[in-house]
Amino acid sequence: MTIKVALAGAGAFGIKHLDGIKNIDDVEVVSLVSRDLGKTREVADRYGIPHVSTELADSLAIDEVDAVILCTPTQMHASQSIACLEAGKHVQVEIPLCDVLAEGEKVVALQKQTGLVAMCGHTRRFNPSHQFVHQKVQAGTFNIQQMDVQTYFFRRSNMNALGQPRSWTDHLLWHHAAHTVDLFAYQAGSPIVKANAIQGPIHKDLGIAMDMSIQLKAANGAICTLSLSFNNDGPLGTFFRYIGDSATYIARYDDLYTGKEEKIDVSQVAVSTNGIELQDREFFAAIREGREPNASVAQVLPCYQVLHDLELQLT
């Protein structure tokens, strides 16, 4: 059976999902939603998608749509996830699940009520580099003592990853810190019991802090230090250093190195070396198998509880 998908958000990340889905059998994107109809049609034509709209409701009204992938602005994630579940559609929402904890809790409650698959795009769980480390932890051959993480961008104007103007404002805490907060608890295999945060000056135009520092501690004693910046004019992206009891690993998205910068072959970790594709494969497999996916909304909710607590510290 082919799973019919609607994708909302034809920007930089929506394109990554479309590219990943091309490699997955028996999945077809049949509807594309984005705010600029002309650009949406261009993308739809490129990927052979028959239906386009500027309204998610139009896609949800299509009976053959089984599942929805949301790559829309952060502020819409929770309400749109709820709309998908209420329409009887499985949903994968890009990170973050929410930027208000209570809204994320509503998504989790509705998922439990409907029994549909609801998953959040915590891609770091799926990157081959992080999967390699996770397998070592699960095998008992590597235990994390500390994670040292740098999330660095140069974003003094409101642009997306393609250099196009954004219709919304990104956020270091609710978006970029969410990746590491969730990954730390997931990799340590232990819940976060202590979290501290400080932030730098608020940008006069964007209205957000451009620099932030976060400390985390897990119940098993592992610690994490996270530095985030939109001011960094240098190598961009997120870089993870895993310091453990038996090795040190450096992860850069889908690539992995030893602490001495020797590249580790992760090509055999999973069926693809593309974290977004692997994330999508998990979503569709969970739908077919009628099971909870890795990075389900219920599994990632504790991350948003930590972010909520940190936000209270920062205000």
| ω into 302 cis (within 30 of 0) | no
Neighbours of 74 (CB within 10 A): 20
The identity of residue 91, as a single letter, is V
Round to whole Å and give the CA distance between 115 and 131. Answer: 27
Neighbours of 137 (CB within 10 A): 17
Residue 131 tokens read as 């999967």
Q: Which H/E stretch holds residue 67? A: strand 67-70
Question: What separation in angstroms does the CA of 262 have from each of 49, 257, 269?
Answer: 42, 5, 17
CATH of domain 3-121+276-295: 3.40.50.720
Residue 208 tokens read as 């957000």
Strand partners, 150: 227, 239
Residue pLDDT, tens place only, 190-213: 999 999 999 999 888 888 889 999
List, for the chain, all residue ranges whose pLDDT scores fall below the cut of 70: 156-170
Residue 207: per-residue pLDDT = 82
Regarding pTM above 0.95, the answer is no
Round to whole Å and give the CA distance between 197 and 75. Answer: 22
Domain positions in the chain are 3-121+276-295, 127-269
Q: Domain 127-269's class?
A: alpha beta
Residue 160: per-residue pLDDT = 53
Residue 168: per-residue pLDDT = 45
* Strand bridging mode 223-229 / 211-218: antiparallel
Residue pLDDT, tens place only, 204-262: 888 888 999 999 999 999 999 999 999 998 888 899 999 999 999 999 988 999 999 99
List the end-to-end C-alpha distance of the chain, in Å, as a whole number.
50
Residue 229: per-residue pLDDT = 94
Print burial letters for 186-211: b (CB count within 10 Å at least 16), e (below 16).
bbbebebeebebebeeebeebebbbb
